[in-house]
Structure 1
Amino acid sequence: MGEVFGGRYELIDLIGEGGMGAVWRARDLKLNRVVAAKVLRQSDASALLRFVREQGLRVNHPNVIAPLGWIGEDNQVLFTMRIVAGGSLATLIGDHGALPPRFAAEILRQILAGLQAVHAAHLVHRDVKPANILLDATGPGRPHAYLTDFGIAVDLTGPRLTETGLVHGTPGYLAPELQNFGDVTPAADLFAVGMVGAAMLTGARPRDLGIDTTTPTPEGVPESLWSLIRDLINPHAEARPDLTTALHRLEAPELAWHEGAAEYVEVFQQLEPLELASPHTGPQGLEPSGTLLSPYVASSPTPSSQPFWQQTPTTDRFPQWTPSTEQPLHAHPGIAQSRPPHTSTVLQTTPPVTPLHAQSPQSLPMPPHVEKAAPRRKGRGKRHTSDWVLFAASVVAFIAGIVLLVLWYVI
């Protein structure tokens, strides 16, 4: 059993590390599920405030992973989120280099759709980059992307954290207006999405390539897709297309997804299935040892509405014996026929029954649990000669004692 944080989350194995902390695969002992747990150190007030802001984020969208909960212990805090087994987009680009245009367009569509829900909640992510885009392990099929890590997100309707001289973001994906300490707007996230698209289509980090609006279209990339990338990374925020326009431009026929569009790219499972080491089902409802669990959520039995004494055991755990399919032992082909099979005869005659009042006490049946009393020994009740001698001696001794007592008072 690994280290248990806050009495609830068992840290199993390390997934990755970043500037603000480490991400672990952990088991939630209370809810019996496997989650990703990010452990942060409370180094200063600003880091703690960013943590509180992220754990409080609740955006319900299929392409957004929001924190599930948090807990604090000593000088550390931990918040949990759904675990995704396919790794990050940064890992995929590192493994395959430049991605096929249709594959990249599908990722962009999903991230922009997730950002619509984020912006509708009056939030600006501020740190959209390949490392913060996670993927399901879909193999060569259609990818499923998630936007995550809202540690430096800004709530446009809430209080702001003022930090003089500090710029939050990742070089290469940071909008020019944020580098110049300008106002935070949703257009900053669109600039970062454009840089993510450029990274997917070139296989390199944008800050290493110096990509801008004058960069020519890479070979094999449709002009409709690269022109959208150029417009998204426009240095002027007001000149960038909005989310609705960008999604509409990605609907071009040459960018539509179809089977086999992933070409040579496969999103492999980066996390091995978790095998629980619990020797038995404990109070947390953990499955017995040897049960393989999905990296998304631990399995749990489906509760039944019937009382336990009316429930029928499942055949996979408690195989039921069916008489119609079983053979007698002597008829089994693997058993030697050393003797004929046992046969029994049931008597059909019924003995005459005598009424109870007509039976003598000696003939009444004796219950099986009642034993007969032992017969009286012959001669019991007669006193032997030795008994009379002892009785006489006792009487004489009593009388002698009384006489001695009287004499003692008189004298």
Structure 2
Amino acid sequence: MIDRPRPIIGPDYLVAGRYRLQSKIGGGGMGAVWLALDRLLNRDVAIKQVLTTAGLDEATARAVREQIMHEGRVAAKLSHEHAIAVYDVVLEAGEPWLVMEHLPSRSVARALALVETLPPVEVAQIGAQVADALAAAHAAGIVHRDIKPGNILVADRGPEVGKAKLSDFGISSGAGDPADHQDGIITGTPSYLPPEVARGAVPTTASDVFSLGATLYTAIEGQPPFGFDDDSDAVVARAAMAQIIPPTRSGVLTAALLHMMEPAPQRRPSMAEARDEILTAAFGPGTAPYILGAPVRTEDGTIPAWAARNSASGQRSPHSTPLPRPHRQHAGAQAAPQQQQRLGSGTGSGGGFSSNPGAPLAIAAGLLIGLVLVIAIIIVAL
């Protein structure tokens, strides 16, 4: 059989007669990600191109193709406002392409490269939103298996600016799918592996809980729970022994994060419980409606500078409200009378109105006395 030359993939290339490639916007273990125009619906989409299987033996090439088709099937089961939507899986030049929602965004990994650490109040919002999406995924029988800062996106412009979304179900497993895990084969990113997976166990929903906790820990502390190390085997070894570096910056989230990162899977909360623990610790009970579906905000209700481009940063979102502050209510109640006392003191300068009702009479009396003295001086002079 004569091998046909493979097409050159680049800008303006038309995929499946429908998706016009525009520019490369990312990449990963499975291949490049392109921004493309869906000519049928006239909207921007993101398309993940599988790395070429040229040069691979047929069995390996088939496995690669099946993997991306599997990703499409698994991700298409999930529809959630905090998860990247999958629209289509198509074949082009014998290779599968995954068509997804395009979210102009910055990953948490990229944000950390810019600012090193994120405030716990902002991490709590990201964590609650992603946990809500994962709770829905777990209810649908989906285990993500690769939660990390690079797979959490925060929209940095457009109508959804500030909203967090989970991406990349590339190594996910779904209920009813054939078992694809081999004993002793570790799946996931070493820095965020739960101990049982680092020891070779099959990932479960409890594994996702640990990995999300490790990801949020990293965003707050500025380093993964097992520390930095160029030797991935050393990181896996520390993960297997659950050698977590005690957090020092997590504040009110400390207990919730350590619960998520319990060494024993059965001691961890479910993903829905983890979401609720994060919300309660940071904002108080019953605050989910203020956090879920809303953009990530600073304590004063503005979009963080790291999460937005140009004029959006530092501005209040038209779809948001100030964050609940249950831990500051007492301090605020004490500050109010002090502020009222300052406003009513009448001792300030600058031409402000006095709060003393007798002040106008005193001023009039002073003017009258002054006038009498002037007249007296004139009479004496004459």
For the pair 1:267 / 2:277, whether they are aligned, the reply is no
- 1:10 aligned partner: 20
Q: Partner residue of 2:169? A: 150
One-letter code of the match for 2:16?
G
Q: Find the aligned partners of 1:180 and 1:216 in 2 and give their Cα distance.
A: 22
Q: How does 1:99-248 map to 2 (within 5 A)?
A: 99-137=118-156, 143-163=162-182, 165-209=184-228, 215-219=245-249, 221-222=250-251, 224-248=252-276
Question: Is the Cα contact below 8 Å between 1:174 and 1:191 reproduced in 2?
Answer: yes
The Cα offsets for residues 69-118 of structure 1, whole Å up to 9 and x where unpaired, read as 02112243211111111221111111111101100000000011001110
| Greater radius of gyration (CA) | 1
Following the alignment from structure 2 to structure 1, what is the Cα–Cα distance between the partners of residues 281 and 161?
A: 17
Identity %: 30
Determine which structure has greater relative contact order: mean sequence separation of CA pairs < 8 Å that are 6+ residues apart, divided by chain length.
Answer: 1
Q: Secondary structure at the match of 1:111?
A: helix
Q: 2:117 aligned with 1:77, yes or no?
A: no
What is the CA distance between 1:142 and its match in structure 2?
Answer: 8.1
Count of paired positions: 267
| Contact kept in structure 1, 2:151 and 2:167, CA below 8 Å | yes
Greater displacement, 152-161 / 77-86: 152-161
1:29: how far off?
1.4
2:162 touches 2:303 (CA, 8 Å); kept in 1? no
Question: TM-score, structure 1 length as denominator?
Answer: 0.59
In structure 2, what is the Cα distance between the partners aligned to 1:253 and 1:151? 32
Q: Give the distance between the partners of 1:218 and 1:3, measured in 2 at CA.
A: 50
In structure 2, the CA distance between the partners of 1:184 and 1:67, relative to structure 1 (3 Å rule), is same
Gaps of 5+ in 1: 271-411
Aligned partner (choices 112, 118, 124) of residue 93 of structure 1 = 112
The 3 A distance-change label for structure 1 pair 203 and 85 is same
1:54 shift after superposition: 1.6
Q: Distance in 2 between matches of 1:97 and 1:13?
A: 28
Q: Alignment RMSD, CA only?
A: 2.6
Structure 2's unaligned 5+ residue stretches are: 1-10, 54-59, 229-237, 285-290, 292-297, 311-382
Which amino acid in structure 2 is aligned with residue 260 of structure 1?
Answer: D
Amino acid at match of 1:215: I
Q: Quick check: 1:138–1:144 contact (8 Å CA) kept in 2? A: no
String of CA shifts for 1:329-373, please: whole Å, max 9, x gaps.
xxxxxxxxxxxxxxxxxxxxxxxxxxxxxxxxxxxxxxxxxxxxx
Matched-pair contact (CA < 8 Å) for 1:87–1:136:
yes
Superposition pairs for residues 231-380 of structure 1, below 5 Å?
231-252=259-280, 254-255=282-283, 259-260=299-300, 265-269=305-309
Q: Secondary structure at the match of 2:106?
A: coil
Question: Residues 101 and 162 from structure 1, CA distance in 2 versus in 1: closer, same or farther, beyond 3 angstroms?
Answer: closer
Task: Tell me if structure 2 keeps the 8 A contact 1:101–1:255.
Answer: no
2:32 counterpart SS class? strand
Provide the C-alpha distance between the structure 1 equivalents of 2:279 and 2:207, rounded to a whole number of angstroms. 23
The amino acid of 2:307's aligned partner reads: V
Q: What is the distance in 2 between the residues matched to 1:252 and 1:165?
A: 38
Rounded Cα–Cα distance in structure 2 between residues aligned with 1:70 and 1:5? 11
* Larger helix fraction of residues: 2
Instruction: Indicate the residue corresponding to 1:274 in structure 2.
Output: none
Structure 1 contact 225–255 (Cα < 8 Å) conserved: no
Corresponding residue of 1:68:
87
1:182–1:166: structure 2 CA closer, same or farther, 3 Å change rule?
closer
Check whether the contact 1:100–1:263 (CA below 8 A) recurs between aligned residues.
no
3-state secondary structure, aligned to 1:38: strand
Instruction: Give per-residue Cα distances to partners, 1:120-139, cap 9 Å, x unaligned.
Output: 11110001111111111269
Contact 1:65 1:81 in 2 (8 A): yes
Give per-residue Cα distances to partners, 1:31-57, cap 9 Å, x unaligned.
Answer: 211101110036333322221122122
SS at match of 1:80: strand
Q: CA deviation at 1:269?
A: 4.3
